[in-house]
Chains A and B, each alone.
Chain A
Amino acid sequence: MISSDVIRGYTDLMILSILAKGDSYGYQLSKQIEAISDGKYSIKETTLYSAIARLEKNDHVTSYKGEGSGGTGRTYYSITLLGETYLKEKEEEWELTKEVINRFSNREGK
C-alpha cells in the first residue's frame, strides 16, 4: 500500500484521467482507481470527495444528477475543457517530477 501523503498531490490527475474517458460517480471512481492501480492504492472517501470539491470549485469538473440504482438521483461528474487543460498540465508536471526524482533515486547503482 502506498502512503497517501505522497500520492495526495496526484489524486486530481487520477480522477481527471478517469473522467477524460467517460463520466463517473463517486463509488465507481473509487473502484476504478483501485482497479487501475491493481489494488495497490485505494482512495479514502474524504480524499476523493475533497478532491472533487476542489475540482468543482475550479471548474475542472461539473456534476449532474443521473439515474441511480435505488431510484434516488446519483451525482455524476464530467470533465470540462478547463479540466482537460489542467489534466495535461498535471501530466507534464508528473513527467518532470518523475524524471527529476529518478535522477536521485537509485544513484548508488550508477
Chain B
Amino acid sequence: MNTIQNYIEAMFRDFPKTKKTQDLKKQILESMQSKYEDLISQGTPEQDAVASVIATFGSIEELKKEYGIEEDERELLDSGFLHEYLKYRSFFAKALAAAISGIILATIIPILFDRPMMTALYLLIIGIAVFVIIAVTVSGNRYERIRSHQYALASEDQVEIIRNQDHFSRIYPILIAAGVLIIIVGVALHVLVDGRLELLPAATELQKDQPAAMLMVFVAIAVAIFVWASATASTYKQLLLSKAQDAGAWDEHMSEKKYGWLYSVTMPLSVCVFLLFGFLYNAWHIAWIVFPVTAIVTSAIVALLWYSHKSAQP
C-alpha cells in the first residue's frame, strides 16, 4: 500500500506544493487505492495488485505538460552509479563519525598521562583522524555531479530512496535524543564523581583526572551518533532535493555550495583552539565545546553571507 503512495510522491517531485497539485495528487492516489482494493477483493496477491495498479499510472510528462511544469531535461542518473554513491555515503558517514569521535576519545591520553611520549601518540592519532576525514571527503569528489543535481533520478530509484528516508526518519529523532541523553548523563556523572573526589584528600593526581576522561567517553559516543545520523539524513535529503518543492532547502543547498568552503577554514581552526586550550589550561573536559560552537557560528556566517549576496542582486 505504501509503495503506491511513495510512487505518487516520487512522480510529483517536480510539481510545486500548491493546493491544485495537492488536490490532483490526492485524487490520483484515491483512484489508485480503489483499484488496489478492488484487485485485492478479487483475490489478487498483494505484490501483483501493486504492480498492476502502478502500471495504470501512465506518464507523468503528460500531466506536466497540462499543468505547465517544465520538463526535466537533465540526464537520467544511472542506477548502478547511484548505488555506488549510496555505498560511499554510508561509508563516509561511518568514517566521519569514527574519526571525529576518535579525536575526542583520544583526548583521554593527555588528560591521564603527562608524558611527552603520550602527547606524541595523541598528536599522531589526531593526525590520522584528520587524514581520514580529508581522504573520505576528497574521494567523494567523483560524485560531484550527483550532488550538484546535474542528474535526474529514475522513478524506481526515487521510490527506493523515499522509502529509505521514510525508514530513517523514524529512528532519527530517537538517535538524537539518545545522544543528548548520553551527554547529560556524562556531565551529571562528571559533576557527581568530581565532587566526591574533591572531598578525598588521599586521591592521587591520576584519580583526580579520571572523571574528565570518563566524560570524554560519553561525549565521544554521543558525537559519533550525531555525526553518523546527520550525515545519513543529509544523503537522502540531498538526493531528493527539488527546486520546485522545497525552495528553502534549495536555497540552503545553494548557499553551502557558494560559501561552504568557510567550514574548511573554521573547523581546522577549531581543532587548534581545542588543542591549545587542552594543553595550556588542561581544560579538556570543557574544550570540546569549541566544535559545536564553531559549527553553529560558521553556519550563521554562511547564512548571513548568502543573505547579503542575494539582496545585493537585483
Interface residues of A (CB under 8 A from B): 26-27, 30, 42, 44-47, 49-50, 53-54, 68, 70, 72, 74-75
Flag the segment in B51-59, B119-127, B294-302 that touches A.
B51-59
> Other CB < 8 Å A-B pairs besides A50-B66, A53-B63, 6 of them?
A27-B34, A44-B62, A45-B28, A45-B57, A49-B66, A53-B67
Q: Is the CB of A44 within 8 A of B30?
A: no
Q: Which of A42, A46, A68 contacts B62 (CB 8 A)?
A: A46
| Binary flags per residue of B61-72, CB closer than 8 Å to A gives 1, else 0 | 011011100000
Nearest-neighbor residue (CB-CB) of B11 within chain A: A46
Kindly report which residue of chain B lies nearest to residue A47, judged by CB atoms: B58
Q: Please, which residues of chain B bring their CB within 8 A of the CB of A46?
A: 57-60, 62-63
Given A27-B34, A45-B32, A45-B56, the answer on whether A53 and B23 have CB atoms closer than 8 Å is: no
The residue on A at minimum CB distance from B32 is A45
Contact residues, B1-51 vs A (CB, 8 A): 23-24, 26-28, 30-32, 34-35
- Considering only CB atoms and an 8 Å cut-off, how many residues of chain B contact the other chain? 20
Most buried by B among A27, A53, A70: A27
Closest to B28 in A: A45
Chain A residues with Cβ below 8 Å from B65 are 50
Whether the pair A75, B66 counts as a contact (CB closer than 8 A) is: no
Question: How distant is the Cα of A74 from the Cα of B29 in the complex, in angstroms?
Answer: 12
Q: Could you say which residues of chain B place their CB within 8 Å of the CB of A53? A: 24, 63, 66-67
* Number of interchain pairs (Cβ within 8 Å): 51
Give the residues in chain B near A26, CB-CB below 8 Å.
Answer: 27-28, 30-31
Contact A42–B31 (Cβ < 8 Å): no
Flag if A75 contacts B58 (CB, 8 Å): no
Instruction: Please state if A42 and B30 are interface contacts (CB–CB under 8 Å).
Output: no
**Assembly CA distance A82 to B242 (angstroms):** 39
- Which residue, A47, A68, A70, has most C-beta atoms of chain B within 10 A? A47
Bound together, the chains give a CA A74 to CA B23 distance in angstroms of: 10
Bound-state CA distance A97–B173 (Å) is: 62
Instruction: A41 to B23: give the CA distance in the assembly, Å.
Output: 26
A57 nearest in chain B by CB position: B66
Which residues of chain B (141-183) have a CB below 8 Å from chain A? Answer: none
Report yes or no: B27 in contact with A50, Cβ–Cβ below 8 A: no
**B64-90: which have CB < 8 Å to A?**
65-67
CA distance A70 to B27 in the complex (A): 13
Most buried by B among A47, A50, A68, A72: A50
Asked whether B66 lies within 8 Å of A54 as measured between CB atoms, the reply is yes
**A75 in contact with B23 (CB, 8 Å):** yes
The 7 closest A-B pairs by CB, nearest first: A44-B58, A46-B58, A50-B66, A27-B31, A46-B62, A27-B34, A26-B31
In contact, B28 and A50 (Cβ under 8 angstroms)? no
**How far apart sit A27 and B35, CA to CA, in the bound complex (Å)?**
8
